[in-house]
Amino acid sequence: MKKQYEPMFDTFTFKRGVSVPNRIMMAPMTNFASKENGEVSEEELEYYRVRSNGPGTVITAVAYVTRGGKGFSHEIGADKDQLIPGLARLASTIKDQGAKAILQIFHGGRMCPPEELLDGQPVSASAVAPLREGAVTPRELDHTEIEGIISDFGDATRRAIEAGFDGVEIHGANTYLIQQFFSPHSNRREDEWGGSLEKRMRFPFAVIDSVKKAVDQHAKNPFVIGYRISPEEMENPGIKMEDTLAFVDQLAEADLDYLHISVQDFWSGSMRDKEDKESRIVLIQDKVGARVPVIGVGSLHTPDEVMKAFDTGIPFVALGRELIMEPNWVKKVQEEKEDSIRQTLTKNDQKKLVVPDYLWNAIMNSPGWFPVEEK
């Protein structure tokens, strides 16, 4: 490889002892390819197989920890032991190609489509609907249900361990249930689970504790615990950057292996204040990067763009759309073939790139999401 890209391939060992061969991760991306019962499909396995020979770490599409938290059609399930064999096939498919395998876990909360739920009723911290057309008002969770969901995260972690994954990523971002408890828009509670900023942090930290206990009890090998966070919300009241900086200050002391920042563009500024142009990722790195590894992501297409992100001090970059368009992105950098890295799609590329049907149709029918050449 070219000398300027060598830092991309530095090894790293996480706090809990998992070592990775390089600093590139595959970002978690919903692929809509699991079976209807949550079982991993052959189509899904092949999609991951061709993308796991290069990145040091692959973070899977999100898996629901309880059936009432299913957020997508054809989503991975981690809510019952019968799914462990399929999860094991997913973990081994990734690991056999040389990458570490991390299962992302979540509960969709008020963002769950009613048609994906057995009772058709989304739940959340409070009975406040999201600000989108046709949104259903969720039912407020009671204390017993909250405790049950916290336990569900621990149970899903145990299943990930038994399936042979190298870690889990707790999905506390992208407006889903964990973020809903932290958000003053979706959490209007006045009990121990809401109100002040500190009380709105209780649910996320309870989930982290549940995951950590499962790892302590069941993991015989080193096992990563990561956490994903969205820096801000558009809603008023909503999550502000000062809230997030206070939150990550606490997360940095929570014995996590990494924090993963969820944004569309690494360099994007505030979504709440257009005058504030400073990268949200850089702000978080400056705040806590000396205490916990920070993963950056978002519209970093070329090796030079990735290296510019590394220059900010972050130790990891996750690639998402880049690895859909170019499964061999990392290998091409290693082999000095970076000029041949694909940065666009054509309508005839699905089979060549091994993209599941539903995901491919979503890409083709979502103008602006991917650069699609008209030919």
pLDDT-based confidence at residue 65 (cuts at 50, 70, 90): very high
Residue 240, pLDDT above cutoff 90: yes
Q: Is residue 303 situated within a structural domain?
A: no
pLDDT at 374: 81
Q: Is residue 271 situated within a structural domain?
A: no
Q: Is residue 149 situated within a structural domain?
A: yes
HSE value, Cβ hemisphere, 13 Å, CA-based, for 300: 27
The number of residues in the chain equals 375
The CATH number covering residue 209 comes to: 3.20.20.70
Residue 114, pLDDT above cutoff 70: yes
pLDDT-based confidence at residue 375 (cuts at 50, 70, 90): low
Q: Is residue 12 situated within a structural domain?
A: yes
Q: What is the 3-state secondary structure (H, E, C) of 17-71?
A: CCEECCCEEECCCCCCCCCCCCCCCHHHHHHHHCCCCCCCEEECCCEECCHHHCC
Cα 246 from Cα 224, distance rounded (Å): 23
Residue 257, pLDDT above cutoff 70: yes
In sign, the C-alpha dihedral spanning 318, 323, 326, 331 is: positive
Q: Is residue 251 situated within a structural domain?
A: no
The residues carrying an active-site annotation are 176
Using one digit for the tens of pLDDT, what is the confidence trace for 308-326? 999 999 999 999 999 999 9
Using one digit for the tens of pLDDT, what is the confidence trace for 266-298? 999 999 999 999 999 999 999 999 999 999 999
DSSP class of residue 2 equals -
Q: Is residue 127 situated within a structural domain?
A: yes
Its domain, for residue 162, covers 3-242+315-343
Cα 62 from Cα 90, distance rounded (Å): 13
Instruction: Report the domain count for the chain.
Output: 1
pLDDT at 325: 97
Contact 363, 348 (CB under 8 A): no
Q: Is the pTM of this model over 0.95?
A: yes
Q: Is residue 293 situated within a structural domain?
A: no
Q: Is residue 66 situated within a structural domain?
A: yes
Residue 99, pLDDT above cutoff 70: yes
DSSP string across 65-114: SSGGG--STT-EE-SSGGGHHHHHHHHHHHHHTT-EEEEEEE--GGGS-G
